[in-house]
Structure 1
Amino acid sequence: MKKRVFALFYLLLSAYSQINAQSPTNTSASIATFTSGMERAPGFLTYYWDAKKGKIWLEIEKFDTEFLYYPTLAQGVGSNDIGLDRGRLGQEHIVKFQRSGPKVLLIEPNYAYRAISNDPLERRAVEESFAKSVHAGFDIAAEEGGKVLVDLTPFLMQDAVGAVQAITRTKQGAFKFDPARSAMYLPHTKSFPQNTEFETIITLTGDNPGAYLREVVPTPSAVTMHQHHSFVQLPDAGYKPRLFDPRIGYGGIEYFDYATPVSQPIMKRYISRHRLEKKDPSAAVSEAVKPIIYYLDPGTPEPIRSALMEGTAWWNQAFEAAGYKDAFQVKLLPADADPMDVRYNLVQWVHRSTRGWSYGGSIIDPRTGEIIKGKVTLGSLRVRQDYLIAQGLIGDFASAMNPANDPMLQMSLDRLRQLAAHEVGHTLGLPHNYIASTQNRASVMDYPTMVAKVKGAGIDLSDAYAKGIGTYDKWSIRYGYEQFPGGTDEKQALDKIVVDMHKAGLTFLTDQDARPEGSAHPGTHLWDNGANAVDELKRVSEVRKIALANFSANKIPAGAPMATLEEVLVPMYMFHRYQVEAAAKVVGGQTYTNALRGDGQPVMSTVPAQEQKRAIDALLATIDPTFLALPTSIMAMIPPRPFRYDPNPREVFKRRTGITFDPMGAPEAAAGMTLQMLLNPERVSRLVVQSAIDPAQVSLETMLEQLLNATWYKADPTDGYQAEVKRLTDKLFLQKLIELANNPEVTSQARAVALQKLDQLKSKLGAPSANPKSAAHRLFASDQIRRAEGNIADLRPTSAQAPPDGAPIDPGQEWLSPDCDWKP
């Protein structure tokens, strides 16, 4: 009996010893013994694949050596609205492995706060003043010869790109990471000389998935995507950071330098750019030691592929201006190249269920601003939207069309060339320049709309988009990449570039100056054109008029359901939408530059009163019933949708008439848009202030009186449909006026003026009317004002119908945020 017990104890002890040899807490085993039978992948970081357990074991050879880590979304969800697109880049992190006994930590130092000093105590004081971040902790499983082995799998098995947060933010349900439905993806787990890549299949599970998820996920309660982890060798110390100048656009890095003398700014700003050096630094023009090469996704179809390659190659014109020969190149990604390899700058073609933004992002060294890899993501459905707009403007499917000489396709390809150049520009370090459209289309980094010109009774699109790199773009590349002869004072040389650019009539203003609806500069806007916003609105309105007059069933191919004409109609009817927003910025507008003290630039001035009055007149013309009313011929062409042709609600007008086309939906969207722009809270507040400072300027009282004269105080048209459109516009303005009087975000005087105008309107609503429709209209308005005077919660207004989605009709949504296409 004792012998049997002893034998059993011995067997248990042996089994425990074998198990313990594989335990992460036992480091007595060598790496070679521990990894016996596993697949070894040498490279920047050597790892082992344990197929039996589905684990990645990482061999750590160097401690306290910094490298770059960033996650990527390798396979996306396919919804532009959620933003989880294939190729989406995550945030870069400088990290290093640090050992503490049997444990290894993955630590991120804090490079936002530094002391650029030779004094180690001064540097340590800053380092110890701010927190670091530990991204992961690992138990050592084995070691030998100074190297250790850790289980990297738990770190890889996480929602590294923040997909759960993106789904929550877009109100698509409550989801969480499901480890049981997640695993390593070996085909895209590889190690290269300068980077090591791991890919995982990540599944999120949740309840009550939203409409966006239901559109694109086969079983929406389980959202599966591929997430990627990149570990990249940092560049050597040969890169020289370049100073940022706010007068010329560049993204980049910034940090506090606590070794800075008190008399100088503590915040340091440097631009982001690729490393580029001349073979012959003394030559005016020289080849590059290592050219910048971008590779196009071979999955891009023709003729789109050629257009994207041509547009991307435009940048070589800018590098030639900076003194380089063939320093920027574009090639098709070779069959034996791996797009995950950090050595390849990539232009990727991405598919979604709806048209969406394109992106230009870069992986940069957060220490210096050096761009390590450029990554462009282009949405494939965007070209179809451009083609749809061309269809409405010049399409005629009654005529035989040669596909090789299709002017609608040619315009769309011209747009793609510009789009490719735009997004690649972001990966070169450049942000948007939204004032360039007022300077003769000076930059591909603006958001351009097509220049449609009136030609007789038709429209000409031959010059819809600029071809080639812009003049501003050449100056910006010179600033970022020009190599100066030895002994040159670089700061002075860079300043001269900016001063010379200004002398050429070019300036820079970006997202913060253009994107807010209430922004003030009259020349910075998305998808506008022309040197003068008011003149361009009038010109665009004429194009719109001709497009609607020429609109017919021939705008869609034979055999297409007639109901699909509405998708072509929407961009024609709303053709003026962006120029309305541009012209609205003239009202209460402020012209300014990013001037530095002593550089001679004009700093800031209020838009002259006469120009503001012209803008108001032009905007009021867009809410006139004759402008808003649809031709009856168009209404008769759009029946209810046929079976299985459910419309995308973003692409058609909202309606209150059920399945039938609503003739009031389009006027409501357009009139509401103009009123929204004119009565923007920030704009009306500026009107109050500017007229207080200068009585000759346009006041809020004047603008509201003009609006009343254009709506309530104006006689109804004799045409019954136009009269109904006018009554609709009246009500929309009344609602905006009530909102303004009750808006705590505007100045109190703006509310007071709005209240005064409401009181004046109220006194005129009691006049009798023989027209029963007009009488009902006035009664409704009186009731609305009465309710607003009492408890505003009792108002219960009819919510205004929003116009169909406009953006993105052209370039991309930058900054990789929910509402913007660039990641600096």
Structure 2
Amino acid sequence: MRILSLLVLLFPLAVFSQPLPTIDEKVKGLSRTDGFLPFYKDDANGKLWLEIGRLDQELLYSISLPAGLGSNDIGLDRGLLGDHQIVKFQRNGRKLLMIQPNYSYRATSNDRAEQRAVEQSFAQSVLWGFAIEAASGDRVLVDATDFLLRDAMKAAQRIKGMKQGNFSLDKTRSALHFPATKNFPLNTELDASITLTNSDGEVGNYVRSVSAADDAITLRMHHSFVQLPDNQYKPRLFDPRSSFIPISYYDYSTPVSEPIEKYYTRRHRLQKKDPSAAISEPVKPIIYYLDNGTPEPIRSALLEGGRWWNQAFTAAGYRDAFRVEVLPDSADPMDIRYNMINWVHRSTRGWSYGASVTDPRTGEIIKGNVTLGSLRVRQDYLIAQGLLAPFENGLPADDKMLKMALARLRQLSAHEIGHTLGLMHNYASSVNNLASVMDYPHPAAQLDAAGNIDLSKAYDDKIGEWDKVAITWGYQDFSPGTNEGQALNRIMSDAASRGLQFISDRDARAPGGSHSQAHLWDNGSDAIGELQAVMKIRTKALSQFGEKNIRPGTPMALLEDVLVPVYLYHRYQAEAVTKLVGGVDYTYATRGDGQTILKMVPKAVQLKALDAVLQTIDPTALVLPEKITALIPPRPAGYGFNRELFRKRTGLNFDVLSPAETAADLPLSFLFHPERLSRMEQLGANGGLGTKEMADLVLQKTFKAKRRSGMELLVQQQTEHVLLTYLMAWSVNEQMNVAARGAGVKVLADLKVWIEQQQKAAADPVQKAHYALALERMKAPDKAKPTLHAEMPPGAPIGCDF
């Protein structure tokens, strides 16, 4: 028995000590596919053997999602890029380790000891360990099957994070996908079909609505191994004024007198054949490929809009440096050699976005990857449908809605490609005559001479002046002998002298943001004047709203779907005007460039802006005409409710008050944002508009305004309670500075005294009840929960995210 036990213990050691077979012996009978990393397909056993001959050589590893989930909320879109990193294979006995060096921390000197000190100070990551099954010289063979049959995109983790179920990998339902497994001289593309299962039965609606079976989600995950670019690419130092996206790392070989964190620009490699020529053909053009599954007329619109970028590259001194073509049927969109524009379907409309695979050493973009959500175009069409009321006799021969939607798609194509060229958003474009396609433009409707809504110039039809500046800065190939730093700085200085501005996401998206010219979905150089113009468009659209806004035969209840974007048509311009209140303008100035650094929006402008915003919450503007609400019955059986509609407190019936509550909440949420209130106290001390003065003006237009009657009275009282919520939250918010907090307590205390007086004097029982409810709520200000428009229908004309 002891002898048997000893043999059992020694057997693994004996096996391990046996010499490895050669690669030819191990793969006998299997088909070999030559390329960057040669591989062997074992169709009979569903295995893939990978031959690694590039030991200790760095290469790029990228994962992506060729076949997705179809849920906008969860993500996991078809064509989605996952992680990408530099890796290298190291042999350790009979193990092959796939290691990711830590390029966030480096020493760029030539001193190997200094480099090693940094490498050993910050952890690397072993991403996978393979068992070596065969070897021939410096080449080893590993079974890559388990490596490929894993949830490389962390899809289960994302689904769980969205509270949609506890899914996990089921290897018995997963398999290699050989049709998309290919090899090329500079890249190896491997593909697998991955199934995630749920055994506890708890599955969310986001999954249930898109997956064929609730408890099984099958996706495709793609793995790319790619040769890294050569060392001929010259990184460009990042300039915060340029609108390019940076990469950064810490260089520990930096002298103490210089910044240790280095910033470089993300961009494609582009060189002139003749750098000394003013206009030159490129050594190699940048080519993007449009998803060949994109239908017409959308295909033509996306091609045209994407090709606008050649205007910018021409301005930068190139001839035909940028092209957009339809992807050939023989090409694989996941092949990392192709810059892609993917036309992606989801169950609900959602963001479009641009991403890229980038060399983390230098910032060189290797693959641009655009995702365009196919349902967004329908929202543009719906907006135009609501504004024009076109269906008097069915679909008109001149489909102006489609024309507007296609015009937006041209702009969207250019916008998302811009991200993959390395550009951030530029939300100051609207004040510079649409200077950048990297802004979010609201459809620019106008009233013609006859007073009718005209959408013929809703969107621009070309690249912007800022985009030409940015591309020139990022891609200019300077002639020999040029001082590049001085030349690049001159490009930025010249742009500033022309009044061109760049303000990006962090400044524009913040609800408490201060920049008066950084907004999403606004138009015009005068935000206040544009709001007044937008309100006239809204008034005209509501005055003609009715049966002609839907096709004959459509359930009347679906009028609500069209009504939402019309009723809230002013929402983004109103947001833009609120940012003038407590506004501070600034630039991303650098020392010595002469740009204005910081200046407060004049108090007179703030007061004018506040008045314009308060006009949008006047009951006259908020009440829906009865002729509209009388046309919207409960939705018929088979037609569900969705978040694109107004919320209801009236059961199945259309809630007449809910739209007004939503529309009033939006501007108040911006005006009384804690960051704005804290900032206004400081600005008020320097001659700006203070919080107490602002609150008094708002109260004069609401609580202290003349009482209305009928539905206008109900809306008036509702708006006052929305305001009261923000005032109570203001009084107890400990995140604000002391001055703002004190002002909030005083405003609420004064209002309480005033309401008590009004309640005693009021004869109308409805008004008495209104005041009683207000006083009851004021007993517990800590229970005030501002909605911050969380329950507002999404409504954005179209979107993207980066």
Same fold, judged at TM 0.5 (above): yes
Equivalent residue for 2:737? Answer: 747
1:327 equivalenced with 2:321 (yes/no)? yes
Equivalent residue for 1:213? Answer: 207
Contact (CA 8 Å) 1:194, 1:342: kept in 2 or not? no
Equivalent residue for 1:641? Answer: 635
Alignment of 1:270-669 (within 5 A): 270-399=264-393, 401=395, 403=397, 405-455=398-448, 456-647=450-641, 649-669=642-662
Alignment of 1:183-194 (within 5 A): 183-194=175-186
CA spacing shift, 1:117–1:96, aligned 2, 3 Å: same
Equivalent residue for 1:6? Answer: none
The CA deviation at 1:513 is 0.9
1:126 equivalenced with 2:118 (yes/no)? yes
Matched residue SS, 2:778:
helix
Contact (CA 8 Å) 1:294, 1:346: kept in 2 or not? yes
Contact (CA 8 Å) 1:24, 1:142: kept in 2 or not? no
Using the alignment, how far apart are the partners of 1:73 and 1:644 within structure 2? 33
1:810 equivalenced with 2:775 (yes/no)? no
Equivalent residue for 1:85? Answer: 77
Using the alignment, how far apart are the partners of 2:179 and 2:793 within structure 1? 39
Alignment of 1:2-401 (within 5 A): 27-206=19-198, 207=200, 208-399=202-393, 401=395
The CA deviation at 1:336 is 2.0
Contact (CA 8 Å) 1:555, 1:565: kept in 2 or not? yes
Using the alignment, how far apart are the partners of 1:563 and 1:25 within structure 2? 77
Q: Deviations over 1:362-410 (max 9, x none)?
A: 111111111111111111001111000000112311146555x311101
Equivalent residue for 1:786? Answer: 779
Matched residue SS, 1:786:
coil
Matched residue SS, 1:246:
coil
Contact (CA 8 Å) 1:94, 1:109: kept in 2 or not? yes
Using the alignment, how far apart are the partners of 2:343 and 2:24 within structure 1? 43
CA spacing shift, 1:627–1:26, aligned 2, 3 Å: farther
TM, length-normalised to structure 1: 0.93
CA spacing shift, 1:743–1:336, aligned 2, 3 Å: same
Alignment of 1:637-716 (within 5 A): 637-647=631-641, 649-692=642-685, 694=686, 696-716=687-707
The CA deviation at 1:485 is 0.5
Using the alignment, how far apart are the partners of 2:379 and 2:590 within structure 1? 41
Using the alignment, how far apart are the partners of 1:724 and 1:203 within structure 2? 54
Using the alignment, how far apart are the partners of 1:382 and 1:27 within structure 2? 60
Matched residue SS, 1:384:
helix
Contact (CA 8 Å) 2:81, 2:355: kept in 1 or not? yes
Contact (CA 8 Å) 1:528, 1:582: kept in 2 or not? yes
Matched residue SS, 2:121:
coil
Using the alignment, how far apart are the partners of 1:637 and 1:460 within structure 2? 25
Using the alignment, how far apart are the partners of 1:218 and 1:712 within structure 2? 53
Equivalent residue for 1:817? Answer: none
Contact (CA 8 Å) 2:222, 2:334: kept in 1 or not? no
Using the alignment, how far apart are the partners of 1:107 and 1:549 within structure 2? 66
Worse overlay, 588-597 or 249-258: 249-258
Using the alignment, how far apart are the partners of 1:386 and 1:401 within structure 2? 16
Using the alignment, how far apart are the partners of 1:141 and 1:63 within structure 2? 16
The CA deviation at 1:25 is 8.1
The CA deviation at 1:205 is 2.2
Matched residue SS, 1:627:
helix
The CA deviation at 1:768 is 3.0
The CA deviation at 1:162 is 2.0
Contact (CA 8 Å) 1:640, 1:661: kept in 2 or not? yes
The CA deviation at 1:532 is 2.1
Aligned AA (1:72)? S
Matched residue SS, 1:722:
helix
Give the alignment's Cα RMSD to 1 decimal. 2.0
Using the alignment, how far apart are the partners of 1:72 and 1:513 within structure 2? 31
Using the alignment, how far apart are the partners of 1:607 and 1:27 within structure 2? 78
Aligned AA (1:740)? W
Using the alignment, how far apart are the partners of 1:286 and 1:614 within structure 2? 51
Contact (CA 8 Å) 2:578, 2:670: kept in 1 or not? yes
Matched residue SS, 1:283:
coil
Contact (CA 8 Å) 1:27, 1:143: kept in 2 or not? no
* Alignment size in residue pairs: 789
Matched residue SS, 2:627:
helix
Using the alignment, how far apart are the partners of 1:179 and 1:302 within structure 2? 40
Using the alignment, how far apart are the partners of 1:782 and 1:634 within structure 2? 35
1:773 equivalenced with 2:780 (yes/no)? no
Matched residue SS, 2:761:
coil
Equivalent residue for 1:737? Answer: 727
The CA deviation at 1:507 is 1.7
Using the alignment, how far apart are the partners of 1:808 and 1:798 within structure 2? 21
The CA deviation at 1:800 is 8.9
The CA deviation at 1:62 is 1.4
Aligned AA (2:793)? D
Q: Which ranges of structure 2 fall in alignment gaps of 5 or more residues?
A: none
**Percent identity among equivalent residues?**
51
TM, length-normalised to structure 2: 0.95
Worse overlay, 618-627 or 46-55: 46-55
Using the alignment, how far apart are the partners of 1:538 and 1:211 within structure 2? 41
Using the alignment, how far apart are the partners of 2:795 and 2:622 within structure 1? 21
Aligned AA (1:323)? G
Q: Deviations over 1:3-42 (max 9, x none)?
A: xxxxxx9xxx9xx99x999x89865211111111223221
Contact (CA 8 Å) 2:666, 2:788: kept in 1 or not? no
The CA deviation at 1:136 is 0.7
Q: Deviations over 1:189-211 (max 9, x none)?
A: 11122211111222222341112
Matched residue SS, 1:565:
helix
Aligned AA (1:104)? L
Q: Which ranges of structure 1 fall in alignment gaps of 5 or more residues?
A: 1-8, 815-824
Aligned AA (2:755)? L
Using the alignment, how far apart are the partners of 2:203 and 2:245 within structure 1? 37
The CA deviation at 1:160 is 1.4
Matched residue SS, 1:337:
coil
Equivalent residue for 1:819? Answer: none
Aligned AA (1:806)? P
The CA deviation at 1:168 is 2.3
Q: Deviations over 1:106-146 (max 9, x none)?
A: 01111111122122222222222211111011111001132
Q: Deviations over 1:463-512 (max 9, x none)?
A: 10011100000011101111111111111111111111111211211111
Using the alignment, how far apart are the partners of 1:214 and 1:24 within structure 2? 48
Contact (CA 8 Å) 2:389, 2:546: kept in 1 or not? no
Contact (CA 8 Å) 1:668, 1:800: kept in 2 or not? no
